[in-house]
Structure 1
Amino acid sequence: MSNAVAASPLDRCRHVLRLLGPGVLMATAAIGGSHLVASTQAGAQFGWQLALLVLLVNLLKYPFFRAAVSYTVSTGDTLQQGYQKMGKGYLMTALGLNCIASVVNAAALLMFSASLLGYFLPMDLPIPALATAVLAAVLFILLAGHFNALDNAAKIIMVLLVIATVTATGVAWSNGPVAPADYVSPSPWTFATIGFLVVTMGWMPAPIEISAITSLWLKRQTNEARVTPRSALFDFNLGYLTTLLLALVFLSLGALVLHGSGQTLASGGIGFSRQLVGLYADTIGDWSRILIALIAFLCVFGSALTVYDGYSRAVAEAMMLLKGNKEASPRVYTWVLLAVAACSFVIVLFFKSALMAMLSFAMTLAFVTTPMFAWLNHRLVNSTNIASEIRNGVVMRWLSIAGLLYLFGFLVVFIWWKFIA
């Protein structure tokens, strides 16, 4: 009996680790372009001035990501099944937006992964050749290993990334900022920087359609393990809090090491990747260069894995629901995955080495589509009987309304800035 008692804490720990899945996967999908690029750029250009904006956009998007957990755990259905119950038009809208977002976001992460892969090679290879190798690895893992391989890879990547980034930022703090004492930071609150603010917020912490993907992963997990409303919410909150904290850490790294240094971030894929790795290596030490490059590659590659898998599952499910089926078969998922892979590769061929332009385009598109997905999730959750343990309270309901006003309001400002002013 004593052995059973002694083993029980370990058993509980293993049980918790088994329940950590969809939230960690969401964090892995989020911590890619939005953190390595957008947060670092924000700190490099404007110092600490955008820290509150990063906090605000994460806070105001929270209810719409949480909707995936609230709805799926309470009903046993995915968000897209909920869209269908609201009306066929809602599901068709989500499908159309996901078809566009899937290929654009996958292409952006594919190009970024290919650029980082080029760092390890002794010879210079064109981005299309590097993208071919990355895409082949993605398809092999997803078609051969499927969800279990994806789940395990996500947890390993997250641990490595957190350790490396926190270490680099800690060293940067101890060294102090590189900006001269009399350096005057430019203001981000001007008419000309609206586009940059939109790019920063587009993937921060991730496009809201990722919530539908989280819902799919969560439903799959409930079929394999005992998931309670509280354990599902704990997993989600842990992943979401991790993305928020790391966004601030990356911003800090940019503010401490690049802000006021006179350096500008390269726009080309290979050049930016070398500069990004150098940012860490110059802070921690040159010995860490290869290690940091590997971790950065795994970070973005992990995002690519989760995006290719998740978007393909979401598109396949929506297609089958519109045909009257309850869920997508593995065969349909495979064909959708191959179609997303082919379309994203064509986009990479079009943009070639213009990595920053590709990422900016993807983040801007995400910001434009975000208000619609936010409204869909808001409407669905507020018209459903949610489990009492995770039901939205007064604060969460008002936060959701504030988030809608913010997202739609800033979208109007962006359209006015882009096409009218």
Structure 2
Amino acid sequence: MENVATVGSLNNTNRLKKVINSFGPGIMMATASVGGSHLVSSTKAGAIYGWQLAAIILLVNLFKYPFFRAGVQYTMATGESLIEGYSKMGRSYLWIFTVLMTIAAIVSTAALLMFSASLFSFFSPIELSMTANAGIILLICLAILFAGHYKALDSLSKIIMLTLVIATVSAAIIAAGNGAVAPVGYQSPSIWDMAAIGFIVIMMGWMPGPIEVSSLTSMWLKNQRKEQEVTERSALFDFNVGYIGTALLAIVFLALGALVLNGSGEELKNSGIGFSHQLVSMYASTIGDWSRYLIAIVAFFCIFGSTITVIDGYSRALAEAQLLIQSKELDQRNYHNGWMLTVSVISMVVLLFFTAQLMTMLNFAMVLAFITTPVFALLNYRLLVKADSQGKLALTSRMKALSWLGLAYLFGFLAVFIWWKWLM
């Protein structure tokens, strides 16, 4: 009997290890997404508009789902990345993707380094300038990536996401128990006011992340398949856990903003540094002041996770795009390393000379992501139709219907934004 129990225990342990090992690209996608769209946009959405934007957050996540999932479906069906698919559709698509990816890589990396440096200053034993802190963080990111590449990033992403989820959900539960801070009769600004469109567009652009992240997911999946066996079921499970978890986490961050900051009379900081400090204070006021440094560490690792994931993913995508443009073999590590160094150096230059404009640049990147989302969504859908996936990842009639609804929603909202921004 004892031997049977031991065998059963070993089988359960092996099964658990198999499930944990199957996680990878989906969790890294979540790690890349949480930094800008959740910690900043979702929290601000709750702080300014209360619960009004909860439905829009859920809708945009729902309508983008088929196009993010395309990264998994296409790669599992063809063994190729989405970027290879764009290249086959036409060289112009590949060039557009490369230009947009380059802008997003530099702006995102610079902004995330700034956030990381700001949070690092909370618990750093040595007082240094923000630029110096950013340089230290960048060197650590590059050292991890050059030493371990995919495996190091894979393991780090799982730890960061688990820690962040526990801390954020705990803070939201405590805040809900304490009740909202808004005085009786307080009215949040209406989301139906035309002035709200700009904020909603910025929030939607990176919710759950820029649509280009779908190409990163496909590349991480392609790389994971070289390291271990990946089935259709495990790939879809990993993606769904990452994507659905990210969408729910966005609502948790919105809840924190609505419960702790909405109607509090506290003015929201516009600068990245000011808002990151405000974010830590929000957690501390909810959980208790004793948690201030703990939360600063958790928030730092969250942004650090986004930073390292963005450096790896965007550089991997740019390297593959360059190789496809030059018609060279794709598996050339030195191109990936070269792009990581290039993106890192240019991002530090931006941080050195344009620190005051970083939030403006980040907002620009989010608006650009929103404008290009319908285009890349349509491209991803066309690739799926051509790939004709079978089995669990087949393009079902329900997924086709959701895709068309998503395209109508994204192109429709883009038309409203163009009318509001340039024609009204």
Please give the range of the TM-score, normalised by the shorter of the 2 chains.
over 0.9
**Residues 171 and 50 (structure 1 numbering): CA distance in 2 closer, same or farther, change over 3 Å?**
same
Moved more, 66-75 or 135-144: 135-144
Moved more, 183-192 or 127-136: 127-136
Moved more, 363-372 or 156-165: 363-372
Shift of 1:401: 1.4
Per the alignment, residue 58 of structure 2 pairs with 55
Q: TM-score, normalised by structure 1?
A: 0.96
Q: SS where residue 181 of structure 1 aligns?
A: coil
Q: How do 1:116-155 residues align onto structure 2 when only pairs under 5 Å count? A: 116-121=119-124, 125-155=128-158
Q: Does 1:367 align with 2:370?
A: yes
Task: Quote the Cα distance in structure 2 between the aligned partners of 1:226 and 1:36.
Answer: 34
Shift of 1:222: 1.0
Per the alignment, residue 264 of structure 2 pairs with 261
**Would you say the 8 A contact 2:201–2:370 is kept in 1?**
yes
Moved more, 112-121 or 205-214: 112-121
Shift of 1:351: 3.2
Q: SS where residue 262 of structure 1 aligns?
A: coil
1:378 to 366, 378, 381: 381
Task: Quote the Cα distance in structure 1 between the aligned partners of 2:282 and 2:126.
Answer: 22
Q: TM-score, normalised by structure 2?
A: 0.95
Q: Does 1:98 align with 2:101?
A: yes
Shift of 1:181: 1.5
Task: Quote the Cα distance in structure 2 between the aligned partners of 1:357 and 1:116.
Answer: 20
**Would you say the 8 A contact 1:29–1:306 is kept in 2?**
yes
Moved more, 162-171 or 188-197: 188-197
Per the alignment, residue 288 of structure 1 pairs with 291
Task: Quote the Cα distance in structure 2 between the aligned partners of 1:367 and 1:410.
Answer: 9
1:82 to 82, 85, 89: 85
Task: Quote the Cα distance in structure 1 between the aligned partners of 2:128 and 2:191.
Answer: 37
Task: Quote the Cα distance in structure 1 between the aligned partners of 2:352 and 2:192.
Answer: 35
Task: Quote the Cα distance in structure 1 between the aligned partners of 2:80 and 2:329.
Answer: 10
Per the alignment, residue 240 of structure 1 pairs with 243
Q: Does 1:46 align with 2:54?
A: no
Per the alignment, residue 69 of structure 2 pairs with 66
Per the alignment, residue 16 of structure 1 pairs with 19
Shift of 1:125: 4.2
**Would you say the 8 A contact 1:70–1:387 is kept in 2?**
no
Q: SS where residue 63 of structure 2 aligns?
A: helix
Moved more, 12-21 or 385-394: 385-394
Shift of 1:234: 0.3
Task: Quote the Cα distance in structure 2 between the aligned partners of 1:37 and 1:143.
Answer: 29
**Residues 226 and 130 (structure 1 numbering): CA distance in 2 closer, same or farther, change over 3 Å?**
same
Gaps of 5+ in 2: none
Per the alignment, residue 297 of structure 1 pairs with 300
Amino acid across the alignment from 1:292: I
Moved more, 133-142 or 242-251: 133-142
**Would you say the 8 A contact 1:178–1:261 is kept in 2?**
yes
Amino acid across the alignment from 1:17: I
Q: Does 1:407 align with 2:410?
A: yes
Shift of 1:223: 1.4
Q: SS where residue 230 of structure 1 aligns?
A: helix
Per the alignment, residue 218 of structure 2 pairs with 215
Shift of 1:6: 3.3
Task: Quote the Cα distance in structure 2 between the aligned partners of 1:344 and 1:41.
Answer: 25
Shift of 1:124: 6.0
2:231 to 228, 238, 242: 228
Per the alignment, residue 392 of structure 1 pairs with 395
Amino acid across the alignment from 2:384: V
> Identity over aligned residues, as a percent?
55
Q: Does 1:416 align with 2:411?
A: no
Task: Quote the Cα distance in structure 2 between the aligned partners of 1:408 and 1:124.
Answer: 48
Task: Quote the Cα distance in structure 2 between the aligned partners of 1:260 and 1:355.
Answer: 27
Shift of 1:97: 1.8
After superposition, the C-alpha distances for 1:343-394 in whole angstroms (9 at most, x for unaligned) are 2222223431455434322222221222221111011001112022111211
After superposition, the C-alpha distances for 1:302-324 in whole angstroms (9 at most, x for unaligned) are 00111010000001011112222
**Would you say the 8 A contact 2:114–2:273 is kept in 1?**
no
Amino acid across the alignment from 2:281: G
Amino acid across the alignment from 1:223: K
**Would you say the 8 A contact 1:23–1:235 is kept in 2?**
yes
Give the root-mean-square deviation of aligned CA atoms: 1.6
Task: Quote the Cα distance in structure 1 between the aligned partners of 2:163 and 2:149.
Answer: 22
Task: Quote the Cα distance in structure 1 between the aligned partners of 2:284 and 2:398.
Answer: 43
Gaps of 5+ in 1: none
Task: Quote the Cα distance in structure 1 between the aligned partners of 2:185 and 2:325.
Answer: 61
Per the alignment, residue 249 of structure 1 pairs with 252
Shift of 1:120: 2.3
Shift of 1:415: 2.5
Q: SS where residue 365 of structure 1 aligns?
A: helix
Per the alignment, residue 115 of structure 2 pairs with 112
After superposition, the C-alpha distances for 1:20-55 in whole angstroms (9 at most, x for unaligned) are 000000010011111111000000000000000000
Task: Quote the Cα distance in structure 1 between the aligned partners of 2:323 and 2:55.
Answer: 42
Amino acid across the alignment from 1:21: G
Task: Quote the Cα distance in structure 2 between the aligned partners of 1:30 and 1:56.
Answer: 17
**Would you say the 8 A contact 1:177–1:256 is kept in 2?**
yes
**Would you say the 8 A contact 1:316–1:328 is kept in 2?**
no
Count the aligned residue pairs. 421
Q: SS where residue 389 of structure 2 aligns?
A: coil
Task: Quote the Cα distance in structure 1 between the aligned partners of 2:274 and 2:260.
Answer: 18
**Would you say the 8 A contact 2:107–2:362 is kept in 1?**
no
